[in-house]
Structure 1
Amino acid sequence: MNNPDLKFDISPIAVGRYIAADGSRKTLAYSALELERARLAAVRVLDAFHFRTGGNVMFTAMWDEGAQLLGVERAIMSYGMVVVSADSSVFDAGRVANISRRFKLIAAMGITPGTLEGLARMDLDPAKVFEGMVVWARPGAYETLKALPGLQVYRCLEVGPAFAIECPAGHGAHLDRFEWNVEEEGGEVVLSSRLERSEPFYKLRTGLKGKVIHGVCDCGNPDPRVLPT
């Protein structure tokens, strides 16, 4: 459902996709302006980790997730850190393991259950693969990795057309307060656009069950947080 107060007057630079509440894939046009706003929101979270320039960050994603994830990737690069990419699938888990061996990684973003399944098929221990780095993991992978001792594991969530990442406080994944009005209705996260977009949204049911937390986080970031339930 589109917000009648927002118009489709920002030219897109590309088209990606998002997952609707019913599990179907919907096209998602996005603009350079939206990409820059997403980068700034991700920087607010990354700032709390006090990363230094020159480090390597592994970024795992699929080719069609650019609309949600490109802002986060640009935020990592804006620190002067190097992004090393792999697919977030069971079939590319070998590359994930090789990257972790060949590069001195300070973080890994977007780890999925598929990646963990692929590592298991090769009899590789994820505690060793991700040792010594900050790991942002998606639902399913987060719970598995969080249970392993010694790992620094945080949430990253695809929330319809948005992407949320967790700060060191570990109390939910942050969503951009300027870009989105984030609500909880019947235990489901609902999004509305607050700024003009190539494709604005109004009361979009995301299908993500979770608690929305407002107020300033312990990390100092006032962006709302989503804590899956």
Structure 2
Amino acid sequence: MTDVLTPAPAATQAAFDPDAPDALWAVGAAETADGLIDYPVSNRDMVADTRWAGERLQAMGVARGALLDFVHNYRECGQFWPYYMAAAAMGAPVMNGMATPWDVGRTEMYTRRFDLALVMGIGGATTEGLRSFGHDSARVFAKVPLLIAREPAASELEAAGLTAWRLTLLGPLLLTAAPGEGAPYDTSQWTVEADGEGRLRVSSGSDRAARYARLDTGLRGRVENGRVFIDAAA
């Protein structure tokens, strides 16, 4: 059973000072076994998540001057925005497009007109949209050194001869993993565990605005040494 504690701590009600560490930065959304739920993020959370995102971008080889493209929808800003902040701090400009079939024109145009270092967030709606507009995903993404895609797009790109990292939204967490590897996560902010049936559950750290206890993410897998391995069937 999922145990979601609400409301957020009283400290996050500090609306009188929007710059206070515990003041709410925004409220996003997190996908769970029971559907979407609110994902509150404080200023303090954003600082911590931006630090982690910077470490992940460095692990991906992103450096100053690299051009990045993030593909996501508005409700995913709580998970993606730290990567915008981290990229800006690194001096890596970011462009974006929505993870919808009708907005793939932006993604296609970016790959054609710019030397992108990575595209992160490609999903099934992206590849479906490209096909509907007469584009070959393998050709569109052929020049991009690093593709980070959700399933089933990641498998589709690999079948076309491209290499793709995996991106998974595990409730409030954005996980990325190189092929064949588990996805690291920020253990200072979150606890991820698999229950007896292999369901992946997320608990938030005590300082976070989101108060989750063993949140059922609806995905299955295992956790080993701070890395999450998502079941392919999930």
Question: Which category describes the TM-score, using the shorter chain as reference length?
Answer: 0.7 to 0.9
Query: Are positions 1:120 and 2:123 aligned together?
Result: no
Query: Are positions 1:173 and 2:183 aligned together?
Result: yes
CA contact (8 A) 2:42 2:208 kept: yes
**CA deviations over 1:109-141 (Å, ceiling 9, x no partner):** 100100100111122111111113201111211
For residues 56-205 of structure 1, the aligned pairs below 5 Å read 56-133=67-144, 134-149=146-161, 151-166=162-177, 168=178, 170-185=180-195, 186-205=197-216
User: In structure 1, what residue type is equivalent to 2:229?
Assistant: V
SS at structure 1 position matched to 2:96: strand
Q: Given the superposition, is the C-alpha separation of residues 179 and 57 from structure 1 closer, same or farther in structure 2, using an over 3 Å criterion?
A: same
The offset of 1:74, in angstroms, is 1.8
Q: Work out the CA distance in 2 between the residues paired with 1:187 and 1:38.
A: 26
Identity of aligned residues (%): 28
Q: Work out the CA distance in 2 between the residues paired with 1:8 and 1:148.
A: 51
Count matched residues: 217
Q: Work out the CA distance in 1 between the residues paired with 2:76 and 2:187.
A: 21
SS at structure 2 position matched to 1:16: strand
The offset of 1:188, in angstroms, is 1.2
SS at structure 1 position matched to 2:126: helix
The offset of 1:169, in angstroms, is 6.3
1:40 to 51, 57, 63: 51
SS at structure 2 position matched to 1:85: strand
Q: Given the superposition, is the C-alpha separation of residues 8 and 144 from structure 1 closer, same or farther in structure 2, using an over 3 Å criterion?
A: farther
Q: Work out the CA distance in 2 between the residues paired with 1:136 and 1:42.
A: 14
User: In structure 2, what residue type is equivalent to 1:196?
Assistant: D
Q: Work out the CA distance in 2 between the residues paired with 1:21 and 1:139.
A: 17
TM (normalized to structure 2)?
0.85
SS at structure 1 position matched to 2:120: strand
User: In structure 1, what residue type is equivalent to 2:67?
Assistant: N
SS at structure 1 position matched to 2:175: strand
Q: Given the superposition, is the C-alpha separation of residues 160 and 120 from structure 1 closer, same or farther in structure 2, using an over 3 Å criterion?
A: same
User: In structure 1, what residue type is equivalent to 2:227?
Assistant: P
SS at structure 1 position matched to 2:212: coil
User: In structure 2, what residue type is equivalent to 1:183?
Assistant: E
CA contact (8 A) 1:110 1:138 kept: yes
Consecutive aligned runs of 4 or more in structure 1 exceeding 6 Å deviation: none
Q: Given the superposition, is the C-alpha separation of residues 19 and 194 from structure 1 closer, same or farther in structure 2, using an over 3 Å criterion?
A: same
The offset of 1:173, in angstroms, is 2.0
The offset of 1:92, in angstroms, is 0.6
The offset of 1:32, in angstroms, is 1.4
User: In structure 2, what residue type is equivalent to 1:33?
Assistant: R
CA contact (8 A) 1:155 1:165 kept: yes
Q: Work out the CA distance in 2 between the residues paired with 1:160 and 1:8.
A: 23
Q: Work out the CA distance in 2 between the residues paired with 1:202 and 1:109.
A: 29
Structure 1 unaligned spans of 5+ = 215-222
Q: Work out the CA distance in 2 between the residues paired with 1:191 and 1:64.
A: 19
Structure 2 unaligned spans of 5+ = 12-21
SS at structure 1 position matched to 2:24: coil
TM (normalized to structure 1)?
0.87
